[in-house]
Amino acid sequence: MNDLQRLRAGIDRIDGELARLFEERMAAAAEIAAWKRENGRPVRDPAREREVLDRAAARIEDPALRPRFAALMEALMAQSREYQSGLLDGAAGISSPACRGGGPASRPVEGCLSHGTPGIGYPIFLERGALSRAASLLDLDRRVFVVTDDGVPARYAETLAAQCRAATVFTIPRGEASKSPKMLTALLEAMLRAGLTRGDCAVAVGGGVVGDLTGLAAALCLRGIDWYNVPTTLLAMVDSSVGGKTAVDLDGVKNAVGAFWQPRAVLIDPELLETLPPRQLSNGLAEAVKMALTHDAGLFARFEDPAGYGPVEDLIAACLRIKTAVVAADERDHGVRQALNFGHTLGHGLEAAAGGRLLHGEAVALGMLPMCASEVRARLLPVLERLGLPTSVNFDLDPEQAIAAICHDKKRLDSRFVTVFVPEIGSWEFREAGLNELRGLLTGCEGVRHDC
């Protein structure tokens, strides 16, 4: 046996041992999932996952190997979750309104970059200058239908289109009013006119409205074509571009008609934020604060740092670690993904009642304040102020208008609503609330500054 054969025999022996251990681990995971279902506990326990990862990393002595082992454990845990879900259909859903979660999400930043992100099944490219290299990251060697809005600098869609074999750029008016069935129809008609076939694709170059609309048009066009999301706002970069939620509003009801239609890839170029107006930046920061409050106390501490929250790409990566972990656990929003609706029940009501005076993130900021323990609120208030977000309603709020909008909210459960509450920073729990409680909480949004 030569040296190489001897070394390879060593690897083969180790692989054999790993295969045996893998089967043993999966069997143990399946037993735990069965126990959780019997005892009405959610399959996902992010705090425990973090603990497992930290302990695993601490067992590796070579610091150069530690992050590699952490990535391996991540992939192993994602496999285990998928296996459990397959065995226990529905076990990852909400088992009761008292379902809880929290703790930092566990995907390494590297997992979000350039490689297929385990669990969500498509890559997220997060790199400065990525837009000008889009053709090397996305398959643009086909007919490409690029959607943007008139609030986004035209050169972003042009930069993308210039890298495609054949591109059509479709520009919609900025704002929520474009998320309409009428605009969806216009988009679909233009897609057909452009001669798209099933092998072609759409690309959204814009914020949440452009992404939601383009994703839905892609889901419907020829019964579903590929699409890519190229978010240009911070809100879309930290949250809405990932997870495949697509929709239009109907009859005054936000996101009333939609589909889960995952993009083939998400391309995030933080350089595009340089043209984003400050109010829009704050708007996105509200969703980042939401992620931190519900899932990552360390991330929240960054917002409290008087020196600032640090490089924006680190912030985006931290949010995407949370987002991808949550979406991987509950793509269809039956369970833990609803934690990302923190602040949104009251927020949607306030946004509707404000009639355009509040941006989505601003309404969410206000909607989060009454939905957390008073110690949490006391820390949240200065953070929102520092980030340029509102902490009280500064217009005549008609609570009944807000309540009417909330009643259309898809989280409605008979006359009770499932809301998300943050008892301590980095964790969340579902709480049921009736209409009267929500009315009271809306008043809290107006007066919350004085309560603390």
Q: Which residues make up the interface to ligand GLY (CB under 6 A)?
A: 239-240, 243, 245, 333, 337, 340
Tokens of 210: 């452009």
Nearer to ligand GLY, 215 or 243 (CB): 243
CA-to-CA separations, 274 to 246, 271, 306, in angstroms, rounded: 26, 6, 22
CB 446 within 8 Å of CB 397: yes
Q: Are strands 427-434 and 100-102 parallel, antiparallel or unpaired?
A: antiparallel
Q: How many CB atoms lie within 10 A of CB 198?
A: 11
Residue type, 97: P
The residue sitting closest to ligand GLY, measured at its beta carbon, is 340
Nearer to ligand GLY, 255 or 391 (CB): 255
Nearest to residue 344, comparing CAs of 274, 245, 269, 198?
245
In angstroms, the CA 441 to CA 421 distance is 12
| Shortest CB 48 distance to ligand GLY, Å | 22
CB 278 within 8 Å of CB 160: no
Nearer to ligand GLY, 123 or 211 (CB): 211
Tokens of 359: 């941006």
Tokens of 199: 């092998």
| Shortest CB 198 distance to ligand GLY, Å | 27
Nearer to ligand GLY, 80 or 255 (CB): 255
Assign residue 350 a region (left: φ > 0; alpha: ψ between -120 and 50; beta: otherwise). alpha
Locus of tokens 């809290």: 444
| Shortest CB 3 distance to ligand GLY, Å | 53
Tokens of 127: 């790199």
Nearer to ligand GLY, 130 or 322 (CB): 322
CB-based contacts of 130, cutoff 8 Å, min separation 6: 137, 267, 268, 269
CA-to-CA separations, 333 to 34, 259, 338, 339, 411, in angstroms, rounded: 21, 12, 6, 9, 10
Nearer to ligand GLY, 164 or 292 (CB): 292
| Shortest CB 324 distance to ligand GLY, Å | 11
| Shortest CB 366 distance to ligand GLY, Å | 17
Nearer to ligand GLY, 245 or 348 (CB): 245
Nearer to ligand GLY, 239 or 249 (CB): 239
In angstroms, the CA 444 to CA 373 distance is 13
| Shortest CB 208 distance to ligand GLY, Å | 9
User: Is the Cα torsion angle 216, 218, 222, 226 positive or negative in sign?
Assistant: negative
| Shortest CB 229 distance to ligand GLY, Å | 12
| Shortest CB 211 distance to ligand GLY, Å | 11
Nearer to ligand GLY, 93 or 153 (CB): 93
Nearest to residue 240, comparing CAs of 227, 248, 229?
229
Nearer to ligand GLY, 30 or 259 (CB): 259
In angstroms, the CA 145 to CA 186 distance is 13
| Shortest CB 260 distance to ligand GLY, Å | 10
Locus of tokens 């992620």: 291
In angstroms, the CA 148 to CA 131 distance is 14
CA-to-CA separations, 20 to 16, 81, 82, 153, in angstroms, rounded: 6, 19, 19, 55
| Shortest CB 328 distance to ligand GLY, Å | 12
In angstroms, the CA 137 to CA 267 distance is 8
Q: How many CB atoms lie within 10 A of CB 220?
A: 18
Nearer to ligand GLY, 85 or 168 (CB): 85
| Shortest CB 338 distance to ligand GLY, Å | 8
User: Is the Cα torsion angle 353, 357, 359, 363 positive or negative in sign?
Assistant: negative
| Shortest CB 112 distance to ligand GLY, Å | 15
Nearer to ligand GLY, 282 or 341 (CB): 341
